[in-house]
Amino acid sequence: MDKRDMDIMNIRCLDEKTLSSYLDERLSDAERKKIEGHIADCDTCLDMLLAAYESRGRGKKCPAILNNRIKNRLGLKQAKKRPELKWFFPALFFFALSFIVKHYFLQFLAISVILGFKWVMEGEGAKRVIMIFKGIQEKEKKVERKSPPDVSNIAGGDRYGKPE
């Protein structure tokens, strides 16, 4: 058992609540001294407290997929995501407009197609398709890199040998 394991196993170590209270700044002098008396000799607790101090304001948001995994594990209901419609309605509007203002039919139709394309591409389904497509492409590239050139059919034998 190394020093770190011994420190972890140390039953004299302060519990999580007591240790974190050191950073709360509301302790009496006696309480502070008691904690300081321990962390002065316990490098594990001192380092843990220091890491907690350094983590203030750090730690970006976790990916939604992890948060959702935790929520599912706890059995929390998750708010259903509203479909992304900010591109859909303008696309529909310009599509309708192209038939109303026939003079600019093609222009409005083109705008409608562009907005429609944006709507499709920002949808979850489209994102998934893009990810699958990229995955396949990367896999193909790896296979190309790995496969050695086929030299079996080259006439003239190997590099040092004579032709059969």
Partner 1 sequence: MFDNTHDLIERCIKREEKAWSEFIDRFSGLVYYSASQRLKRDGFRFNEQDVQDIVQNVFVDIWEKSKLAEVRERNKIQAWLSIVGQTRALNFMRKKKERLLSEEELFSVENIISDRGAEYRAELIEELEKAVEEFPPREKIVLKLNIIHGKTHKEIAEFMNIPINTVSTIIARRKELLRKALTNLKV
Residues within the interface to partner 1 (CB under 8 A): 3-5, 8, 16-17, 19-26, 32-33, 36-37, 39-41, 43, 46-56, 58-62, 66-67, 69-71, 73-74, 76-79
Note whether 53 and 47 are within 8 A (CB): no
| DSSP structural state of residue 160 | S
| Residue 10: Cβ within 10 Å count | 13
* HSE-up (13 A, CA, CB side) for residue 6: 5
Which residue, 12 or 26, has its beta carbon nearer to partner 1?
26
The tokens for 103 are 């003079």
In whole angstroms, how close is the CB of 159 to partner 1 at the nearest point? Answer: 37
Alpha-carbon gap, residue 15 to 22, rounded angstroms: 12
Which residue, 28 or 152, has its beta carbon nearer to partner 1?
28
In whole angstroms, how close is the CB of 126 to partner 1 at the nearest point? Answer: 25
Which residue, 26 or 162, has its beta carbon nearer to partner 1?
26
In whole angstroms, how close is the CB of 82 to partner 1 at the nearest point? Answer: 16
